[in-house]
Amino acid sequence: MRIPVDSVVDALKMGASVQGDVDAPVRVAVYLDEGAPSHIVSCLREALVPQTTSGLVRVARLDAPTFSVKADSDVALVVSSGSALLQDRVQQIAIAGVPTVVLCESSVEAPFIQHDTAMLGLIAASDATHLLSSLARWILDRTDKDTAFAANFPFMRISAAMRVVRSATMANLATGALFFMPGADFPVMTMTQLGMMLKLAAVFGKPMRPERAYEAALVLGGALAMRAGARAVSRRFGRPGVLLKVLVAGAGTFGMGCCLSAYYERDVDYAPLNDFFRGAFARAKSLFVPEVPTVG
């Protein structure tokens, strides 16, 4: 089945929208308490290095004489091992409207935080892996700039990517269940998968370039294969086949998203493929476009 022209236009608009999401400003405030654990400070120093010009990390001391909170901060990270100032300063940051998380080695160092809320949280971790994975989930739960955060800070990319994949999977499960006319769901599911591809590329810091067309072609091929498989299942099992068709749509989208995520984690060199197509185009042009003789 051919893809309608308006669907291609929609895909281009989607790409522009995703690029806008990547370029959204990201502001992270880091406050260091007296005696902040050195391994947490070191871990954040390596992890919070913005990868785009739209990212900014501000660092300040919690016991600064002129303590202030920037209103444009998206999140605030307070690194502490417990101090007399901690509770008062954390309350000031949260009251300013900035989601705040305290990072420490043990929960006893911040006893005033009993459970996570929309504005206040606690992450107690003694190793970098647990710290960063927990921090990534905490931030993503409290921001609508997940693409921009992931594009700027690589430690957040896996968590952000899985959210994109799960969202597309649920959307295509719903599409498969609601569309009963044969073939009507194909353009909708395909657009969802193309959108997933573009968002995953952005999450992993892959800019909008002509090379994305190769990946879009693979997605379209995968969509056609899934459609053929769903049709075969539906014909073979009759009415129960509708349920199986929905499962094929969901599982196929999830698998495609996982493969794309693994693919984007690696730096793929498209130069050989680009050279191949340039050479093929030049040879085709020489066959069909005669050279104009020069008059000397």
The whole-number pLDDT of residue 4 equals 46
Please tell me the distance from the alpha carbon of residue 216 to that of residue 214, in angstroms, as a whole number.
Answer: 5
Look up residue 2 and give its DSSP letter. P
Residues 6+ apart with CB under 8 A from 79: 30, 31, 32, 33, 36, 37, 40, 41, 44, 103, 104
pLDDT, tens digit, for every residue of 101-149?
Answer: 999 998 889 899 988 898 999 999 888 999 999 999 999 999 999 999 9
Q: Which of 47-56, 71-80, 137-146, 282-291 has the lowest mean pLDDT?
A: 282-291
Please tell me the distance from the alpha carbon of residue 72 to that of residue 251, in angstroms, as a whole number.
Answer: 40
Please tell me the distance from the alpha carbon of residue 54 to that of residue 62, in angstroms, as a whole number.
Answer: 25
Task: Check whether 170 has a pLDDT greater than 50.
Answer: yes
The whole-number pLDDT of residue 131 equals 95
133, 159 Cβ separation under 8 angstroms: yes
Is 224 or 49 the better-scoring residue by pLDDT?
49
Task: Check whether 182 has a pLDDT greater than 60.
Answer: no
- What is the b/e burial string over 232-267, where b = at least 16 CB atoms within 10 angstroms of the residue's CB? ebbeeeeeebbebbbebbbebbbebbeebbebbeee
Host H or E run for residue 91 = helix 86-95
The whole-number pLDDT of residue 23 equals 86
Mean pLDDT across the chain: 83
Please tell me the distance from the alpha carbon of residue 40 to that of residue 77, in angstroms, as a whole number.
Answer: 11
Choose among 101, 66, 57: nearest CA to 80: 101
41, 79 Cβ separation under 8 angstroms: yes
Please tell me the distance from the alpha carbon of residue 8 to that of residue 14, in angstroms, as a whole number.
Answer: 10
Token look-up 């919690």 returns: 62
Task: Give me the percent of the chain exceeding a pLDDT of 90.
Answer: 46
